[in-house]
């Protein structure tokens, strides 16, 4: 994981079709190249949230949440410039108004920490089977659709 | 931001989800004086939680709140969620993780630091 740059995109299932997702992936990778001269090691994972499971302000929501990892302690000006480009990309390509986009650029080690917190909610006995199931789903979607995706539900 | 992920073993009925969403939003805003419109809650179902846990809450909140505030948040969440789930506070697991406001853009603008919301809204 140390040299992998992860981007987690949480969206409502069926909100964005395959073509749009792949286009967004190309766009996000271009942002990494533009801002950080990064051309490889970028892994984008789509997390599908079924209708009825996402809320904002107390109401059902279709907000897309993008969590992009960047180098640790990246200067603020660079971080904000990168975030702005990602946000603009999504706004232009999806047509989503900016109040339905939440874009974060977090230190790589913080992203790994947060993924660890998510893993730790699972009972120890089940962590390996759950990880194996997630990996299978991710690989299956990559083969079938061309991108890594999984459901927010683990069942 | 904040983003709260609620994890349960089984799927929850819609009305239970709505109660949980309202409770989380109210607790967060009452304690932090944040704006309800920004409070996100998502549900993750089918999670094999630890045996002593009925419901797990993972919250990403803006950093800058002191330990007392975070403790108040955590205890309040445990209390209200245990009531909704007909469980006990001990069986509610609540983890809060800080995220610097300057790392997050919502509504096309970088988030304000805690306490600067009014000025941020005035510029909207």
pLDDT tens readout for residues A50-96: 999 999 999 999 999 999 999 999 999 999 999 999 999 999 999 99
Alpha carbon of A50: minimum distance to chain B alpha carbons (Å) = 9
Distance CA B119, CA A93 (A): 31
At CB < 8 Å, which residues of chain A contact B? 10, 49, 52-58, 61, 63, 65, 76, 79-80, 83-84, 87, 91, 98-99, 101-106, 110, 113-114, 117-118, 121-126, 130, 152-155
Element containing residue A36 per DSSP (H, E):
helix A18-36
Q: Can you give the pLDDT at residue A113?
A: 94
Count of Cβ atoms closer than 10 Å to residue A44 Cβ: 21
Q: Can you give the pLDDT at residue A155?
A: 84
Q: Can you give the pLDDT at residue A150?
A: 96
Higher local confidence (pLDDT), B16 or A2:
B16
By the 8 A CB rule, do B36 and B95 touch? no
- 10 Å CB burial of residue B27 (0-12, 13-18, 19+) is buried
Is the Cβ of B58 closer than 8 Å to some Cβ of chain A?
yes
User: Burial code of B75-101, b = ≥16 C-beta within 10 A, e = fewer?
Assistant: ebbbebbbebbeeeeebbbbebeebbb
Task: Extract the residue ranges of chain B whose pLDDT is less than 50.
Answer: none
Q: Can you give the pLDDT at residue B119?
A: 82
Q: Can you give the pLDDT at residue A2?
A: 56
By the 8 A CB rule, do B101 and B112 touch? yes
Q: What is the pLDDT of residues A104-128, one digit of tens each?
A: 999 999 999 999 999 999 999 999 9
- 10 Å CB burial of residue B9 (0-12, 13-18, 19+) is middle
Joined tokens for residue B40: 């996100």
Question: Above 80 in pLDDT, residue A1?
Answer: no
Q: Can you give the pLDDT at residue B123?
A: 75
Q: Can you give the pLDDT at residue A23?
A: 98
Alpha carbon of A54: minimum distance to chain B alpha carbons (Å) = 4
Q: Do B42 and A130 touch (CB under 8 A)?
A: no
Sign, CA torsion B80/B87/A154/B49: positive
Q: Which of B7, B49, B106 to mutate to test the interface with A (most CBs of A within 10 A)?
A: B106
Count of Cβ atoms closer than 10 Å to residue A137 Cβ: 15
Distance CA A88, CA A10 (A): 17
Q: Which of B17, B27, B44, B49 to mutate to test the interface with A (most CBs of A within 10 A)?
A: B44
Q: Can you give the pLDDT at residue B103?
A: 97
Angle at the Cα of A63 from the Cα atoms of A10 and A44, rounded to 5 degrees = 25
Distance CA B22, CA B60 (A): 17
Strands (E), A39-128: 42-49, 54-56, 59-60, 64-70, 101-107
Give the pTM.
0.95
């Amino acid at each position: 994981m140390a040299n992998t740059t992860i981007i987690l995109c949480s969206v409502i299932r069926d909100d964005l079709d395959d073509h749009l997702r792949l286009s967004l992936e190309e766009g996000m990778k271009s942002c990494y190249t533009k801002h950080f001269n990064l051309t490889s090691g970028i892994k984008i994972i789509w997390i599908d949230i079924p209708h009825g499971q996402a809320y904002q302000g107390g109401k059902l929501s279709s907000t897309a949440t993008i969590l992009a990892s960047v180098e640790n302690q990246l200067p603020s000006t660079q971080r904000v410039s990168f975030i702005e480009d990602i946000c603009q990309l999504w706004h232009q390509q999806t047509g989503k108004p900016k109040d339905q986009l939440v874009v974060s650029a977090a230190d790589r080690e913080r992203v790994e920490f947060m993924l660890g917190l998510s893993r730790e909610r699972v009972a120890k006995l089940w962590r390996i089977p759950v990880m194996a199931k997630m990996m299978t789903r991710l690989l299956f979607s990559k083969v079938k659709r061309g991108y890594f995706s999984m459901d927010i539900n683990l069942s | 931001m904040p983003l709260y992920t609620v994890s349960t073993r089984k799927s929850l009925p819609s009305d239970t989800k709505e109660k949980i969403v309202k409770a989380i939003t109210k607790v967060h805003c009452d304690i932090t004086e944040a704006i309800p419109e920004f409070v996100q809650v998502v549900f993750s179902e089918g999670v094999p939680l630890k045996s002593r846990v009925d419901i797990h809450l993972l919250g990403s909140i803006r950093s800058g709140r002191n330990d007392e505030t975070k403790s108040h948040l955590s205890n309040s969440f445990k209390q209200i969620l245990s009531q909704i789930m007909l469980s006990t506070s001990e069986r509610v697991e609540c983890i809060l993780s800080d995220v610097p406001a300057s790392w997050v853009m919502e509504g096309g603008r970088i988030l304000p630091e805690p306490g600067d919301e009014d000025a941020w809204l005035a510029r909207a």
